Amino acid sequence: MATSVRLLRRYVWLIDTIRRAGRITLEEINQKWMDERTLRLENEEEIPERTFHRHRQAIADIFGIDILCNRYDGNTYFIDNDEALNRPSFTSWLFNGLAIDNRLISNRGIANRVIFEDIPGGNEFLPLIIEALTKSRMIKLTYRRFNSADETERVIEPLGLKQSGRRWYLVARIPRCDNPTVFSLDRIQSVTMTDDTFIVDKFIDVSNYFDDVIGVNVDNDYDCEKVILRVYGSQRVYVETLPIHKSQRLVNRAKDYTDYEFNLRPEYEFQHAILALGAAAEVLSPRWLRDEIKWIAEEIVKRY
């Protein structure tokens, strides 16, 4: 294992060890470290205090995770901002992936019993795109749309990245276009970073741009409005534990059903999320959406 990769895995191990313990002394950390059979080299001793503090600083720089010491509680160490690992972010995605991988490396016998979803592709472009984001550099990409066999070449301003439905998407602005465009990374054929820089439009906030939709389809043909959805039976448990949209709010609970309110654009992705619930879901309002779902259901019946 390359030194830099091994060191990164050690940082993840250290975060994971402190996180699971809640509060832990350096002595207790070293007791666990001496039991580590994969990341610790065969003749390697305990983690020296000076090395431990260098690791703390590196973890803060790389992951933004602050490991603090409580001098009044036996010099115990704890993670001060654990929420950084719980909220959706690149940091939590990277950390949790490496933490799982560390466990699997230590227990290769169960590796084939942990099943991951297949990502269609395009992950190899992530490092270059992130570098372009950091440097505000324009990128040139060759792209093939889902509904076309033809490739097009574009020079774009990268604004951000979003993961949705097992795919990574590049959010970018095409020069002289007002609204951002979304490119699926698995449809990108090639990408290069140019020498040209750009000024990020302060009126385009990627972190909030998709708040009114599910996924990445911001369809301006749909206005943001209130939707009341009734869900029946056991499907209510799934909807409550994995909300359809961040605006979801329980408004009425009965014996056999629960009503939920949403404030969003009821576009394609939301409609199909409703249809995925089958007969367990019923749109109460708005009327046009109720009729739309009914029409789609009738078209489905015609297929059979």
Cβ-based neighbours of 239, under 8 Å, separated by 6 or more:
231, 248, 258, 260, 277
Query: What span, in angstroms and rounded, lies between the C-alpha atoms of 97 and 13?
Result: 12
Residue 33: both structure tokens together: 């470290």
Give the per-residue pLDDT at 2: 43
Give the per-residue pLDDT at 106: 65
Query: What span, in angstroms and rounded, lies between the C-alpha atoms of 157 and 179?
Result: 12
Give the bridge partners for 232, in sequence order. 257
Three-state DSSP at 163 gives strand
Omega cis (within 30) before 158: no
Give the per-residue pLDDT at 24: 95
Give the per-residue pLDDT at 69: 94
Tens of pLDDT along the chain (304 residues) come to 444 777 888 888 999 899 889 999 999 999 999 988 778 877 888 999 999 999 999 998 888 889 999 999 999 999 998 777 777 666 677 777 777 777 776 666 776 777 767 777 888 888 899 889 989 999 999 998 887 778 899 999 999 999 888 889 999 999 888 889 999 999 999 999 999 999 887 778 888 899 999 989 898 899 999 999 999 999 999 999 999 999 999 999 999 999 999 999 999 999 999 999 999 999 999 999 999 999 999 999 999 9
Exposure of 286 in the CB half-sphere (CA atoms within 13 A): 14
Query: What span, in angstroms and rounded, lies between the C-alpha atoms of 255 and 232?
Result: 9
Give the per-residue pLDDT at 56: 92
Query: What span, in angstroms and rounded, lies between the C-alpha atoms of 154 and 158?
Result: 12
Query: What span, in angstroms and rounded, lies between the C-alpha atoms of 122 and 162?
Result: 13
Give a three-class secondary structure readout of 6-61. HHHHHHHHHHHHHHHHCCECHHHHHHHHHCCCCCCCCCCCCCCHHHHHHHHHHHHH
Query: What span, in angstroms and rounded, lies between the C-alpha atoms of 14 and 295?
Result: 55
